[in-house]
Amino acid sequence: MEITDLPDNAVRQHFQLHYDGLARLLEVHLITGEIYVYRGVTRTTYQHFIDAAHPALYYHNVIAHHGCIQIRFNSLHLSEIGRDAAEMLPLPKSHLIATIAYDNAQSLLLVTFIEKRQLLYPNVPRETVEILLHALDPDEYYKKSITVQYACCAVK
């Protein structure tokens, strides 16, 4: 994962970028505190964003038109397995993970660790999340299955 700070002094805008080339995900932190994750962002598009003379203009004209997942930590709306309503699911047997949330429609898994760090995993099948929820040792399953098979982006 590449992390870049990208100021645009002309319009007093600042972007913090987290790019995962394998997953083609670009996470954009805005100065307002909002976080957006864009899908399908190629390395070339990411590089043009970084090199743009006016990053804010490039963001609005190019990046903002990619498929987007908006994340607000005080009102996170990811679907619980089998439901449309959002809920953070605790993993009581885990010593690493505090909660997980899963979005069925987009196959997104959000993992919140005990120390409050959060990782977002795209393209995770529902079955994998169900196994994690019911695993005898969820920490071991997370380390050996999810971290090895799925690219992630740190969201906070």
3-state secondary structure the chain: CEEEEEEECCCCEEEEEEEECCCCEEEEEECCCCEEEEECCCHHHHHHHHHCCCHHHHHHHCHHHCCEEEECCCCCCCECCCCCCECCEECCCCCCEEEEEEECCCCEEEEEECCCCEEEECCCCHHHHHHHHHCCCHHHHHHHHHHHHCCCEECC
Q: What is the mean pLDDT of residues 132-147?
A: 92
Query: What residues contact residue 98 under an 8 Å CB cut-off, 6+ apart?
Result: 90, 91, 112, 113, 114, 116
pLDDT score recorded for residue 87:
54
pLDDT in tens, 29-86: 877 667 788 888 999 999 999 999 998 899 989 998 887 775 543 333 444 444 444 4
pLDDT score recorded for residue 86:
42
For residue 66, the one-letter residue type is H
pLDDT score recorded for residue 72:
44
Domain boundaries, the chain: 2-71, 89-154
Confidence of residue 97 (pLDDT cuts 50, 70, 90): very high
pLDDT in tens, 20-31: 888 888 888 877
Q: What are the φ/ψ torsions at residue 28 (nearest 5 degrees)?
A: -120, 120
pLDDT score recorded for residue 33:
67
pLDDT score recorded for residue 10:
67
Interior/surface letters 104-117, b for 16+ CB within 10 angstroms, e for the rest? eeebbbbbbeeeee
